[in-house]
Amino acid sequence: MFRREVFALVATFMASAQAFAGGTIEPGRAQELERLVRHDCGSCHGMTLKGGLGPNIRAQRLVGASVEALTEIILNGVANTPMPPWRSLLSEKEARWVAEYLLREGAQ
């Protein structure tokens, strides 16, 4: 019985932590977002994201960038540049996931 109570507490804590962090993206949607990074972002930033019309956005190039700043750029674009806003296509949670993905993996 004690083991179940501990498991329930841990599960509750993990669910609360995920909710506090903005939740998670469903696995199917995560795959769609990975494709979006490779294809849509890659159309300007280069298919390997090492740069093209837009700058290099691979993880090693983004060192020091914050998730919040990247999320803001993804959602609102950058004025007077070709970087468009994605707010009409991505939720804030999805844009944050993309920002974290770029910082973590850089679409290697």
Work out the pLDDT band at 2, boundaries 50, 70, 90: very low
18 located within any domain: no
- Tell me, what CATH number does 80's domain have? 1.10.760.10
Q: List the domain range (segments joined by +) for residue 32.
A: 27-104
Report the pLDDT averaged over residues 67-88.
Answer: 97
**What's the CA gap between 61 and 50, in Å, rounded?**
9
Specify the length of the chain in residues. Answer: 108
Number of domains in the chain: 1
Predicted structure pTM score: 0.75
Torsion-angle region of 85 (φ positive above 0: left; ψ -120 to 50: alpha; else: beta): beta
Work out the pLDDT band at 17, boundaries 50, 70, 90: very low
3 located within any domain: no
Work out the pLDDT band at 24, boundaries 50, 70, 90: confident
pLDDT digit string (tens) for 29-48?
999 999 999 999 999 999 99
